[in-house]
Amino acid sequence: MHFASLTVDPAFRVGEVDPRLYGSFVEHLGRCVYEGIYEPGHPSADEHGFRADVASLTRELGVPIVRYPGGNFVSGYDWEDGIGPVADRPTRIDLAWRTIEPNHVGVDEFQRWAGTVGAETMMAVNLGTRGIDAARNFVEYCNHPAGTYWSDRRRANGAADPYDIKVWCLGNEMDGPWQIGHKTAVEYGRLAAETGKAMRLVDPSIELVACGSSNRAMPTFGSWEATVLAETYDVADYVSLHAYYQERDGDRGSFLASAADMDAFIEAVVATADHVRAVGRHRKRINLSFDEWNVWYQTRFAGEENLAIERTPRLIEDVYSVTDAVVVGNLLISLLRHADRVRIGCQAQLVNVIGLIMTAPGGAAWRQSSYHPFALTSRHGRGTVLRLEPTSPVYETAVHGEVPVLDAVAVLADDADGVVLFAVNRDQEQELTLDVDARALPSLGSAEHVALFDEDPDAVNDEAHPDRVAPRLLDAPKLDSGRLQAVLPPLSWNMIRLS
C-alpha cells in the first residue's frame, strides 16, 4: 500500500472557480446534434424535436455553457442557412466532416434547447471561408434588441428578446492544415482583430476568444500564440487551448498521467500570454479558454479524408472505460488547479461524439463512465480552489517522466463551511492511504468519500448495462481533531467532502 499526505488551508488560495469551467461542446458532427440532442419522433421528443432524456441528463451534468456549432464544422458554415422556416433552409455538404447538413437545427433552435438545460451559448463564428461582415451580422441577429435588419429577422423568426450571447469564438483551430480556410498566424491574427473589433462595435459587452494552437504538438505552438496575441490583444479576452488524450501501445501508466501534459500546456500558454502583455505594455491580462478537451482515441478514427459523404454518420463514438473516466476526472483536477487563469472549459463533446452521453436512435440515452466524475466535479467543485502541496510516492512513465501516484485539488465552499477534495490514485495495483490535515478548518466535523473504480479497469457502460460503471459510496473516513485518513482504491477517481 502507498501512503500520501496533504494539508488543506484556506489561507492558500489559487482563485475562484468560474462556473463556465464546466462547459461542454455541441458540434454539427456525427450524431451529436441529429440523433443526439435532437430527434423528432423519439418517444421523449418535445414539440420542437429535442430529446427530453438527453436534456435531463445534461441538466444533471450542471453544464453552464455549451460551445456551438463547431469545431471544424464552423469554418465552412453559413449561419444564415440555419434561420427562418425549416422547409426553406438549404441542404449543404459539410466539408469538414463530409456530412449532409439539413440545417434543421440552427441558432434559434439551439438557443431554445440551451434554455431548457440551463446553459448559455458560447458561439463560434466562421473565420475560415467568411469574416467580418458575417460575424458582425451574426452578433446583430443574436444580441441587438430590435429595429435593425438582422434583429428584426430574429424577431420575425419567433425570438422577440435578444439572445444576449456573451462569449464568442473567433474561428476554430485556424493553424490546422485540415481546417477549411487555414491561415498563417499573421493572416489569422489580423482577421481576428478586425472581426472582433466590428463585433464589439455591435455589442460592446461581448467576450472574445482568439484561437490558440490546435494542440501542444503543433510545430508552430508558442510562436502562433505570441503572434496572434500580439495582433489581437486589444480585442481578445481569452486564448483557446485544445487537447485530447488516449492510451497508446498499452502504456497505461503514461495515459493515467495525462494531466501532467495538460498542466504543462496551460502553464506554457500562460507564460506566452504574459510575455505578450509585458512586451506590449498592456494593462489587462489574457485568460484561457480550454474549449476542447477529452479522452479521444484518434488512432481509431479513419480520418476525414477517408469518409464517404452521408447523413448522420456514426463518427468518433468512443466507448469509455473506467480507466478513461479516471483520466477525465484527473483532467478536471488540472483545470481546477489553474482556475486563476482557466476561466472557461468545454468538454468535447456532449453526446455520442466522444460524448459523456450516448443515445440509441429511437431508444435509450445513458451515461458513459466519464459522465460521473464530470457531473460530481461540476456539482461540488464550486467555490475557491486551494493550493495543495501533496507528499506522494512517484512512478516513472515513458511519456511524462516521473509523476506522483496521487494527484489532488481542493475547493473551498463559498460559505467556507465545507471543502471538497478531488483526488486520483494512479497506481493500477495498490491502494493509497491519504492523510489529510484540515486543522486550519476547525469547524469541519464529518467526511464523505465517493470513488469511481472497478475491479475490471476496462469495464464500460452500454445500452444493455448503463450503470455498470458508477460512483460508489465508501466507508466515511473519521475526521478526528482536524485530521483524517482515506483509502483510495487502485486506479480510482475520488471525491472526499468535508463538512
- So what's the pLDDT on residue 220? 93
- So what's the pLDDT on residue 414? 83
pLDDT at 417 over 80: no
pLDDT at 94 over 80: yes
- So what's the pLDDT on residue 302? 85
pLDDT digits (tens, 9 = 90+) for 172-216: 999 999 999 999 999 999 999 999 999 999 999 999 999 999 999
Q: Quick one: average pLDDT of 354-358? A: 98
C-alpha 279/C-alpha 281 separation (Å) is 6
Q: Quick one: average pLDDT of 142-162? A: 98
HEC readout, the chain? CEEEEEECCCCCEEEECCHHHHEEECCCCCCCCECCCECCCCCCECCCCEEHHHHHHHHHHCCCEEEECCCHHHHHCCHHHHCCCHHHCCCEEECCCCEEECCCCCHHHHHHHHHHHCCEEEEEECCCCCCHHHHHHHHHHHHCCCCCHHHHHHHHCCCCCCCCCCEEEECCCCCCCCCCCCCCHHHHHHHHHHHHHHHHHHCCCCEEEECCCCCCCCCCCCHHHHHHHHHHCCCCCEEEEEEEECCCCCCHHHHHCHHHHHHHHHHHHHHHHHHHHHHHCCCCCCEEEEEEEEECCHHHCCCHHHCCCECCCCCCCCCCEHHHHHHHHHHHHHHHHCCCCEEEEEEECCECCCCCEEECCCCCEEECCCHHHHHHHHHHCCCEEECCCCECCEEEECCCEEEECEEEEEEECCCCCCEEEEEEECCCCCCEEEEEECCCCCCCCCEEEEEECCCCCCCECCCCCCCCCCCEEECCCCCECCEEEEEECCCEEEEEEEC
Q: Quick one: average pLDDT of 421-429? A: 98
User: Does the active-site annotation cover 292?
Assistant: yes
User: Does the active-site annotation cover 173?
Assistant: yes
- So what's the pLDDT on residue 75? 98
- So what's the pLDDT on residue 303? 85
C-alpha 68/C-alpha 84 separation (Å) is 19
pLDDT digits (tens, 9 = 90+) for 270-315: 999 999 999 999 999 999 999 999 999 999 998 888 889 999 999 9
Of these residues, 120, 173, 231, 247, which one is catalytic?
Answer: 173
Q: What is the mean pLDDT of the chain?
A: 97
Please state the length of the chain.
499
The answer to which of 134-138, 246-250, 301-305, 369-373 has the lowest mean pLDDT is 301-305
pLDDT digits (tens, 9 = 90+) for 439-467: 999 999 999 999 999 999 999 999 999 99
* pTM of this structure: 0.97
Decide: 253 and 428 in contact? Cβ < 8 Å. yes
Q: Which amino acid is at 455?
A: E
pLDDT digits (tens, 9 = 90+) for 104-150: 999 999 999 999 999 999 999 999 999 999 999 999 999 999 999 99
Which residue(s) pair with 448 in the sheet? 497
- So what's the pLDDT on residue 15? 97
- So what's the pLDDT on residue 305? 84
